[in-house]
Amino acid sequence: MSLLLKIILPICCLLTFPSLFAQSQTNPTGYLLDCGAGESSSAGVTVSGLRYVTDEGFTSAGNITKLKQNDLVPILSTLRYFPDTSARKFCYSIPVIKGGKYLVKTTYYYGGFDGGDKPPVFDQIVEGTKWGVVDTSEDYANGLSSFYEIVVLAKANRLSVCVARNGETKSSPFMSALEVENLDDSLYNATDFANNALSTVARCCFDDKFNRIWQPFKDLNPVVISHHKVNPLEFWNVPPEKAFKNAITTSRGKRLQIQWPQISVSTGDYYIALYFQDNRTPSPYSWRVFDVLINGNKFYANLNVTTKGVTVYSTQWPLSGQTEIVLIPSNDMPVGPVINAAEVLQILPLGGKTLSKDVVAMLDLGRQFNNPPSDWSGDPCLPKENSWTGVTSNLTALNHIWLGGNKLSGTIPEMWSLKDLRSLHLENNQFEGPVPKSLSQLPHLSEIFLNNNKLDGQNSVTAQ
C-alpha cells in the first residue's frame, strides 16, 4: 500500500520549503516535534513560519543523531532512531483532548544515519492500529523526504504514534518529525471516526491553515485563474483559499480527463472530496454544468458550478490502482468543465483498543518500575504483534504479565483494575517494597511468581 506523500524538496536549495508553504502561517493547535533535536534546542526551529520543538519528553525510547549533510531543512537534519531489536514498538505519547479530531503527520528523511545507503522499511502505528508501512526508498533515491498523514479521533487524553520493526526491517526504524494537530469538528465529519481513521493518499493543491499538505498538480490541460474570491469557511473540510485560485479546464464541448492521484492506490474504500468553482467574474451567465465520473462511474450528475464554488464528496468510494476523473459537459455549454482541488484519503478501519482501565493500570505499573522495557508505551495489547514485551491479552483485556528475569527494579503497584489478569511473573528481578494487597483479591489471578526479589515479607505470597 502506498500512502506516500512526496514533496518537492530538492536537496540543493534547502533552508526553507519551496513556495508550496506560505511564509506566515500561524501554528496550528497541537504539537510540531523536531525528532532528535535534543535537549539543548529547547527553543525550537522555525520552518516556513511553523515552530517545531524538540521531541524530548514525548518518548522515552530511541537514540538521537544529527545528519552529516549541512544543507537540510532544520527539521530534517536531526532524527531519532530505535536500535533496540528486542522492543516490539517505539512510541510517542502526545497530550490531546479526548474526543478531539487530530491530523497526525510523520516525516522521514533517512540521510544515511546508520551508515547504509538505503533507508530501512518498517511499520507505523497510530492509536494501536497498524497505519501502514514506511518505505521511503524511492523518495530518498530522488533526494526527497517522505510524509504520511492521517486523521484520527483521540479516544483518551494521550495519542500514541509508534514505529516498529517488521519482517523487512534491516536496520533501525527512525523518525524525522512528528506533528499532531487539532482539526475543526467539521472536517471530514461525515466519517465514522469511532471506527475508522482517514489516511491521506493525495491532496492537491496549495497550503493550509491546518497544515495539511496540498500538492501542486499539473497536466496538459489548460489552467484558468479565478476572478472571484470564495470564503473557504463556507466549504466542508475548509479547503485553503488558494485552492480556488487556479483551476484546470478544457475547451468548449470537450470532456476533461485527469489521471489523479498520480500513484496507483491499493484496493479499498476511500474518502473523496472534489472542489469546483467557475473562475469567471460573477454574472447571471457565470455557471457551467457537467457530470463527474470516477473510473467510469458516475460520481455526481449535472453538477452546476457557479462562481461561489462547490464541494462534492463521497465518504466511501471504492478505488483500485490508477484513478481517472472525467468531467463531461452537458449539451450546449459555452465553456468547458473546471476543477480546482481534490482530496483522496484511505479509510483505515481501527483495530480496537485495550480497555482504558487496563491501559491506566499498565501505565501505572510502568511508572513504578525504575527501568520498564522500552516498548512499554502506546497501546499495551495492540496491534497484536506489537504488544508490550511480557504482556499478553485477549486483544482488549490484559491476561498475562510475564517479566521474570529482566533486572527490573522499583516497587510493584496495586493492580486492582486488572480484573482479567490470570498470571503474573515478576520473579528473578530486583523489586523492593511491599507485595501489593490487590494480588490476593484479583478474581482470575491464579499464577503469581515473585520469588528472588527484595520484597518485604517476600514469602508471604507464594505461587498458588
Site residues (vs ligand NAG, CB under 6 A):
63, 83, 186, 189-190, 236, 287, 289, 304, 306, 394-397, 420
CA quadruple 452, 455, 456, 462: dihedral sign: negative
CB of 73 to ligand NAG, least distance (A): 24
Q: Residue 43 CB, nearest distance to ligand NAG (Å)?
A: 24
| CA distance linking residue 146 with residue 174, whole number of Å | 12
Q: Is the distance from CB of 458 to CB of 451 less than 8 angstroms?
A: yes
3-state secondary structure of 128: coil
Question: What CA–CA distance (Å, rounded) separates 286 from 383?
Answer: 53
DSSP letters of 332-345?
A: T-SS--EE-EEEEE
Contact between residue 64 and residue 39 where contact means Cβ atoms under 8 Å apart: no
Q: Which is nearer to ligand NAG, 190 or 223 (CB)?
A: 190
Q: Between 108 and 174, name the residue whose CB sits nearer to ligand NAG.
A: 174
Comparing CB distances to ligand NAG, the nearer of 63 and 392 is: 63
Closer Cβ to ligand NAG, 127 or 420, answer by number: 420
* Choice between 83 and 413, CB closer to ligand NAG: 83
Write down the least CB distance from residue 397 to ligand NAG, Å.
4
What span, in angstroms and rounded, lies between the C-alpha atoms of 196 and 268? Answer: 13
Q: How far apart are CA 343 and CA 240, in angstroms?
A: 12
Residue closer to ligand NAG by CB (options 196, 323) is 196
Nearest distance, CB of residue 287 and ligand NAG, angstroms: 4
Residue 460's contacts (CB-CB under 8 Å, 6 or more residues apart) are: 435
Q: Which is nearer to ligand NAG, 263 or 310 (CB)?
A: 310
Asked whether the beta carbons of 350 and 125 are under 8 A apart, the reply is: no
**Cβ distance 34 to 52 under 8 Å?**
yes
Distance between CA atoms of residues 438 and 413, nearest Å: 9
To ligand NAG, the closest distance from the beta carbon of 420 in angstroms equals 5
> Min. distance of Cβ 382 from ligand NAG in angstroms?
11
Shortest CB 398 distance to ligand NAG, Å: 9
Minimum gap (Å) between residue 289 Cβ and ligand NAG? 5
The Cα 3–Cα 127 span in angstroms is 18
Asked if residue 237 lies in contact with residue 247, where contact means CB atoms within 8 angstroms, the answer is: no
* Nearer residue to ligand NAG within complex by CB, 297 or 302: 302
